[in-house]
Structure 1
Amino acid sequence: MQQVKSYPSFSIYRNDRKTRGGGILIAIKQTIPSRIISIPDEVEALTVQLMLYEPINLCLIYNPPNCSEVYKQDLLSYLETTMQSLVKTYILGDFNSPDIDWATLSSNCNFSSSLCDLSFQYDFSQVIDSPTHIHGNTLDLIFTNSPDSVTDIVISNDPNPVTKSDHYLISFKLQLSTTQHSITSKPIYIFDYNKGDYNGLTNFLCNIDFSNCFQSNNVEFIWSYIKSSLCDAMAKFIPKIKLNSTHQPKYFTPAIRHQINCIRSLKRRLRRSPSSSIRNRFHTAEQSLSDEIHKARSEFERKLINNFAPNNNSMIYKYIRSVKKSSSIPSSVLYNGAPATDSADKASLFNEYFFSVFTSSDFVLPPYPDKIDPYVRCHLVSIQISEQEVYEALVSLHTDKATGIDV
């Protein structure tokens, strides 16, 4: 341990056992700025913070297999304090809790059950799902409030030859931000196929010479040529619209996300082990989610009015349009006491209304003389229409418009 302590390339953080040899240690490269957060005296644990643009907390713990109940309670208290942090947190170590069913967050002993409750309460995920000990038990765990950032988890099935431990070596990667993110994200644009000029697109493709393409025996060349032609046609004749980058409402908060994750976890528990207590907790969590959404939405709308109403109403109207999302045609129509809900009946009522408010006129067209213009020298005797002309007329129709003489 003394040799590790003096290693020049690493910052060493350790919590040595007070009685005999042993303890825990975190070694961090000195190129990564770090600082100690806490080293408790009553349990073998320590927490270090990596001071990146997006700071993270690393917590290492050890729960001895035959420790006292006082030690276990102190360790649970320390874990709860650590989980209350607002930054990304990773808690790892030997928990000696092989009895936990991580699919349902259930256990048979008090310490493991309390550990599951803490994970559930503070929305932490446990990402190790295979044995970490030579006897087939999952003892070494990783808890985090950012499970998507933990990748490439590898558990060696052979004991570590260096430490001569009966635990398997665990390696993983953290997807962390080392640079400051921009506040605004790059907009995403997609094709608006409903407003495409398909007549122009068809003519454009018809004027492309594909003879050289189809004479080739190279499939890759043929596909590349056709794909390039199609992409060029789409870029010329199909407009693009900006796509909203998020599907979450503007008032979505971490508290709402936490409640959603709690409901999902309880649903898994209820499906695996149905019981009245879990069902009651599930219904309580649903009500809590509804209350949290109502609270967050009211707070967001209050701030929106206070911040923008005096000078700029456009933000308010934009928000109203985003939450309204109603069709321009109502789901039901009532006119002269006659209701209508389906499309045909609503169209008839609209037609009846427009006819009733239409302003008629007494103007009459003068009679057109029924005689042949003396200046006309040619008379139309027959009409000849080819199949090609009919085809060109049909492909030029605007299918997104209503039928009629003006299509």
Structure 2
Amino acid sequence: MDNKLDFLFLTETWHKPLDYFSLNQATPTGYTYIDKPRLEGRGGGIATIHNKDLKIISLSMPTVSSFEHVALKLPGSPPLIIAIIYRPPKPSPDFLTDLSDLLTQLCALSPSVLLLGDFNIHIDNPSCSLAREFLDILQCFSFTQHCHFPTHNHGHTLDLICSTGLETSPPSCHDLHISDHLLIKTVITLPDPPTRLKRTINFRNLKSISPSALTAALSLNLTTSPPQASDNPSDLVTYYNQTLSSCLNLLAPVKSKSVTFARSAPWYTPALHQLKQKKRQLERLYRKTGLTIHLQLYRDHLHQYKATLNSARSAYYSNIIHSGSSNPRTLFSTINSLLAPHDNSTSTFTPDKCQTFLQFFQSKIDNIYNSLQSATSAPTPHPKSPPCAPPTPLLSPYPSFPPSLMPNSPS
């Protein structure tokens, strides 16, 4: 946000599948991300945080075993193809072949391709055979490698920015003191720059008012006679305010300007803003002197600022969760904003996901059909009828009498 970045490419994110909490916390307001975690084992992972105003399309590329990669497309004339790569330090004999196949597919999509990431190749070592073969492949595809300085705290060039068919500025490196790798920043000319909404604001340049000019203007205007009803406090106050307004309009008139606003986080407090200003002061002091003590002060304050940010964020969301405990809609929307992936309609539905979805339901239908068919084709055994029981004698409703006592019987 401070550097007004449109893209932030991250390697070795170490996030797991369906683990979106850290990415959600790292993504500022007005930005979204595209991620690809490592499915097995630990480490690895790639993520791209980009401005929501940019229309980004995620490209489906074959998965290879020698490195991790994410390919993106920025529509334009011509479109810009971006590929982020993380190559693990463990050597793989298939790396160069897999990289050549990937570059062949990317260059077939557009003449403007940006290739970057952590390749874990000592480009600065001329005796490294892998580095020589890697640079030969880049030359075959007309790629230019722009990083010619150490990008790791051990002094090696491991992180690269390569491009073809693009106008790029010379990259610069910055030590954020949060990783053993440096941040590499560059500016590229986008083929289709986005249009950002602007608003018109009115402001006064109060810093341009000198105390002597303000004193002279007040002395000149206040020497005139006040209103006739000078004994009325309300009239005197009105006269005083009008005099100050006229002096202000004279020395610092209202100006209009069209600006774009970045949406800040709702939990960003004035106290955090003061800590950020202090961090900037310590950073400038360290860059000016280069002393170890100033670097240590900057690092300590950086950790304090980070801890305060986490506390403010946690307090903000805790307050929302506790206050919305009786409102399921507020509660679930807050939890989803923390744990669910960001809604990125440009990369959610890919051909692979649609094909997997179709195969899943087709297999469900086939299984149900097969189970019904096997149940109807098997003969149904008829139940055996129980053995016939002897007939039960019928009982007369009349009592038994001897023949001589039967009614209407002859005597």
Q: Is this a same-fold pair by TM over 0.5?
A: no
- Give the TM-score taking structure 2 as reference length: 0.38
Larger relative contact order, structure 1 or 2 (CA cutoff 8 Å, min sep 6): 2
Larger radius of gyration: 2
- Give the TM-score taking structure 1 as reference length: 0.38
